[in-house]
Amino acid sequence: MTAQTLLTTTPGQVPVRRRRWFSRTGRGGDEHPNWPGTIALLVCSLAVFAPLYATLTMAFKTTQQSVDGRVFSLPSPLSVDGFVEAWRLTDFPRGFGISVFVTAVTVFGTVVLASFAAYAIARNWDRPFFRGAFFYLLAAMFLPFPVLALSQVKLTGMVGLANPVGVAILHVMFQLSFSVMLFTAFIRGLPEELEESARLDGASTWAVFRRIVFPMMAPMSATVAIFAFLASWNDFMMPSLITADSTLQTLPVLQSVFQTQFSSNYNVAFASYLMAMAPAIVVYLFTQRWVMSGVTQGAIK
């Protein structure tokens, strides 16, 4: 990882990428649409849809219909009993509230801490302390959670953080590497003249960051925020191990209730799964551009 490899997302690249993602036909124009390819991909997309379709239809079935063995049949009659029951069984408002809390703290904490750190690092890259800090923070990207889990569970328990607050802090820490890397690369691509002239006008470093750099980083903040959101909202491993009190669990962990005691009420289980996964799908549909570019930038740097 040299300085060279970090010079990645220059501002000039962004419009090009945007045009590519949204062009309807890509390179080569419109003349000869590849119909066999289109049809083959549509058939392949059934593999994505099948489990989601099953979840959706099962969730709206009555309990009797949900156990008849025909998973892919349409619900008849359409029933929301499953949702009502799932709402009650998992105490959905509380689980949802805790998931929202953990996710919100993670997103906010990640964007703030990572952008702060990345700005300091990128603008002092010539100083060993800041460059060293960069590689130090990056190291966690290669540190699998299972390796740290036993100690982290013990430590969070000792300092009274065996709860959603502790989970959120750890989520931020595990997002930090990837996010600092993205932000640092982005800031190094920003022109420095603007900041320097503002500083010559008497603006403090903080004011420069707050008024100039942070607003310019908005596209990267969006990417970082969405990845923090997805990682935190969907995580099962960390909350299940860290949070001691089962009434303070996040939505993914709460779903385990259907693996045991209510295992025959499939409509209830699927309604609950649907309610837990829906927010991530909705956010994705509105933010897919940043999701897609984030994966690429994270991997190729």
Partner 1 sequence: MVTTAPTRPGVRDGAAPVRHADPRRKVGMTFYLLLVPSLVLFTLAITVPAIMGITLSFTNSVGFGEFEFTGFTNYVALFSDPAILSSYGFTIGFALVTVLLVNIIAFLLAVGLTSKIRAKIALRTVFVLPMVISGIIIAYVFNFLFSNSVPQLGQAWGIEPLSQSLLADPDLAWTTIVVVTAWQAIPSALLIYIAGILSIPGEVYEAAAMDGASAGRRLRSITLPLVSGYVVINMVIGFKNFLNAYDIIVGLTNGGPGTATRSVAMTIFSGFTGGDYAYQMANATIFFLIAVVLAVTQLRLTRGKAAF
In the region spanning residues 251 to 280, those forming contacts with partner 1, defined by CB under 8 A, are 252-253, 255-256, 258-259, 266, 269-270, 273, 276-277, 280
Contacts of partner 1 in 220-239 (CB under 8 A): 230, 233-237
CB-facing half-sphere around the CA of 121: CA atoms within 13 A: 26
Cβ 22 to partner 1, closest distance in Å? 7
Does 193 help bind partner 1 (rule: CB under 8 A)?
yes
Residues near 104 by beta carbon (within 8 Å), at least 6 away in sequence: none
Give 88 or 215: the residue with its C-beta nearer to partner 1. Answer: 215
**Residue 269 Cα distances to 39, 241, 298, angstroms:** 34, 22, 35
275-298 per-residue burial string, b: 16 or more CB within 10 A, e: under 16: bbbebeeebeeebebbbebbeebb
Cβ 80 to partner 1, closest distance in Å? 19
Check residue 190 and report its DSSP letter: S
Question: Tokens in use for 131?
Answer: 């460059």
Of 176, 181, 185, 242, the one binding partner 1 by CB under 8 A: 176
Cβ 250 to partner 1, closest distance in Å? 10
Name the segment binding partner 1 (CB under 8 A); options: 74-82, 85-93, 100-108, 293-301: 293-301
Give 22 or 77: the residue with its C-beta nearer to partner 1. Answer: 22
Amino acid at 192: E
Give 80 or 140: the residue with its C-beta nearer to partner 1. Answer: 140
Of 89, 98, 241, 242, the one binding partner 1 by CB under 8 A: 241
Distance between CA atoms of residues 180 and 127, nearest Å? 17
Contacts of partner 1 in 69-98 (CB under 8 A): 69, 71-72
Going residue by residue from 145 to 174, which x/- string records binding to partner 1, judged by CB under 8 A? xxxxxxxxxxx-------------xx-xxx
Cβ 41 to partner 1, closest distance in Å? 5
Name the segment binding partner 1 (CB under 8 A); options: 27-35, 77-85, 86-94, 100-108: 27-35
**Residue 255 Cα distances to 77, 114, 187, angstroms:** 25, 32, 41
| 9 touches 118 (CB < 8 A) | no
Distance between CA atoms of residues 261 and 154, nearest Å? 30
Going residue by residue from 95 to 134, which x/- string records binding to partner 1, judged by CB under 8 A? ------------------xx-xx-xxx-xx-----x--x-
Distance between CA atoms of residues 5 and 300, nearest Å? 9
